[in-house]
Amino acid sequence: MSDDFELDTDDLKRRMDGAMANLRTEFASLRTGRASASMLEPVMVDAYGSMTPINQVGTVNVPEPRMVTVNVWDKSLVGKVEKAIRESGLGINPQLNGTIIMLPIPELNEERRRELGKVAGQYAEHARVAIRNVRRDGMDQIKKAKADGLSEDDQKFWETEVQELTDQMIKAVDAALEAKQAEIMQV
């Protein structure tokens, strides 16, 4: 039985990549003083009786570095889209112009930049925890196989594989955090 054990490292990598993708999404929602269409991705609008992503009720554009516009397709939803943006916690004050909602992005002050840096750090820590949980699952599979007759050499080999994958992903999280914090602190 020991020769048959094959740890599914592709599955572990896929799950760790999922944690990284989630981190990138969370980072994209952080406002850095520069306009970005992705900052509106987490905003959901109560449209037609269900919560709908903002990009499914209008076109999100970035016409200039400090301005995001949302061209709402259905005139009856303009008020709901505006309300969703106001209540999203992005700290942006929408301005109406017909069916176009303009979102001027204000300069970030030093205190707000530090707060956003801390939030980015929390997001990164959540990603590290998710990656470590995947690592623990992999190690548990190896321990179970050891109990079923996996040789000690094979156990060490698989544990090393899982640990190297984990270290690689944690390094990627740290690099992404460093880049995001540099972007946030950039004036």
| Domain boundaries along the sequence of the chain | 8-27+109-185, 34-104
pLDDT for the residue 2: 43
Q: What is the CA radius of gyration of the chain?
A: 22
Measured in degrees and rounded to the nearest 5, phi and psi for residue 93 equal -100, 105
Kindly report, residue by residue over 103-141, the tens digit of the pLDDT. 888 777 888 788 888 888 999 999 999 999 999 999 999
| Assigned fold of 34-104 | Gyrase A; domain 2 (3.30.1360)
Report the alpha-carbon distance of residue 90 to residue 154 in Å, rounded: 50
User: 3-class SS at 173?
Assistant: helix
pLDDT along the chain (187 residues), means of 10: 71 93 83 73 85 89 87 90 83 85 83 84 94 94 90 92 95 94 80
SS (H, E, C) 91-112: CCCCEEECCEEEEECCCCCHHH
Q: Measuring CA to CA, how many Å separate 14 from each of 131, 158, 161, 169? A: 11, 17, 15, 11
Phi/psi at 31 (nearest 5 deg)?
A: -80, 130
Domain boundaries 8-27+109-185, CATH class: mainly alpha
pLDDT at 93: 84
User: What is the predicted pLDDT for the residue at 112?
Assistant: 79
Nearest Cα to 185, choosing from 86, 114, 122, 130?
114
The one-letter amino acid code at 185 reads M
The beta strands (E) that lie in 22-128 are given as 44-47, 50-53, 58-64, 67-72, 95-97, 100-104
